[in-house]
Amino acid sequence: MTAPPSSGRAGWAAFRSLLLRDLTVLDRDLKEFLPNTLMQPAMLVFVFTYVFPHIGQGVGGSGNAGRFSTLLLGGLVAQSIAFQGLFRVALPLARELDITNELEDRVLAPAPISLIALEKIVAGALEGLFAALVVFPIAAFLPSTPIYLRAHWGTLLVVTVLSCYASAALGLTIGTRIEPRLVPILLGFVAAPLGFFGAVFYTWDALAPIGWLQAAVLVNPVLYMSEGFRAALSIGVGHLPVATVCAALLAFSAVFTVLGINGFKQRVLG
């Protein structure tokens, strides 16, 4: 009797092919993905760092407009990764799991269900990375005010990987638990607090005068992404210690991976 071919190898081959499928779909969706990714950051950069300084609006504190553009860069890159990772995983998944049943063939790929769920996270993480690459030049070169940048490559690499992964894992966690009809709520009740309380437009230490808020925002994963990108890219703006950022993002990644894979299993296995 011959031994059956290795399950593990077949599983990873299926994983790679599932990833290839998702990237093929991303490539096809580029004409929607690009404007969707660019629009909000471009508007924010334009209004906050061009319009407001020109009309004398005092956003970003008194006088130091360059500091605001610099801190905004890290925040916008973080927010783009978080939103793209989250939405590119959660939205199709909510639809495919509930209405269209079109996940069926991928669920029947010869790989363990947890590996199929993990592929969703990796695909979403790559899409988040792509969003960051697209948004970075906008946030770095569009502002009319000066930006003070210096890349710490090691920190940048680790923060980017962890931010992309944690965002996509959050997408899997939410996408496996939300009904398609409730998807619009995601914008108001998930995306808005993630962005507004994610230290995108201010640094975490600047919240010191509002102690309760400074403590409350610590549960927001986007906070650590914003602070992490500031640590990796900016000069002259405060940020959380890199070790704290990495530990928090690792913890969020682990929790969302477990919740996401469990949610996926519950939805596809009876």
Partner 1 sequence: MSTAPPAAISTSGLTKVYPAPRRHGAALTAVDGLDLSVRPGEIFGLLGPNGAGKTTTVGMLTTRIVPTAGTAQVGGVDVIADPALAKRSIGVVHQLNTLDRSLTAWENLYFHGRYHGMSDPAARRAAGEQLERFRLSHRAQAEIRALSGGMIRRLMVARAVLHRPAVLFLDEPTANLDPQSRMALWDVLREIRDEGQTILLTTHYMEEAEEFCDRVAIMDHGRVLALDTPAGLMRSLPSDNGTGSAAEDWRRVDAALSEVVALADRLGLDLDQVRRRVTLELVFFNLTGRELRE
User: Residue 138, CB half-sphere, CA atoms under 13 Å: how many?
Assistant: 23
Residue 248 interacts with partner 1 (CB under 8 A): yes or no = no
Site track for partner 1 across 65-104, x = CB under 8 A: ---------------------------x-------xxx-x
Residue 262 interacts with partner 1 (CB under 8 A): yes or no = no
Task: For the beta carbon of residue 153, count every other beta carbon within 10 angstroms.
Answer: 8
**What six digits make up the tokens of 24?**
């093929």
**Pick 152 or 265: Cβ nearer partner 1:** 265
- Return the closest-CA partner of residue 267 out of 99, 109, 127: 99
Residue 11 interacts with partner 1 (CB under 8 A): yes or no = yes
- Return the closest-CA partner of residue 69 out of 52, 83, 88: 52
Bridge partners of 232, per DSSP, are: none
CB of 14 to partner 1, least distance (A): 5
- Return the closest-CA partner of residue 12 out of 102, 119, 92: 119
Among 39, 51, 108, 247, binds partner 1 (CB under 8 A): 108
**Pick 22 or 227: Cβ nearer partner 1:** 22
**Pick 21 or 177: Cβ nearer partner 1:** 21
Residue 118 interacts with partner 1 (CB under 8 A): yes or no = no
φ, ψ of residue 158 in degrees (nearest 5): -65, -45
Residue 270 interacts with partner 1 (CB under 8 A): yes or no = yes
**What six digits make up the tokens of 33?**
């993905």
Residues forming the site for partner 1 (CB under 8 A): 4, 7, 10-11, 13-14, 17-18, 20-21, 24-25, 28, 92, 100-102, 104-113, 115, 268-270
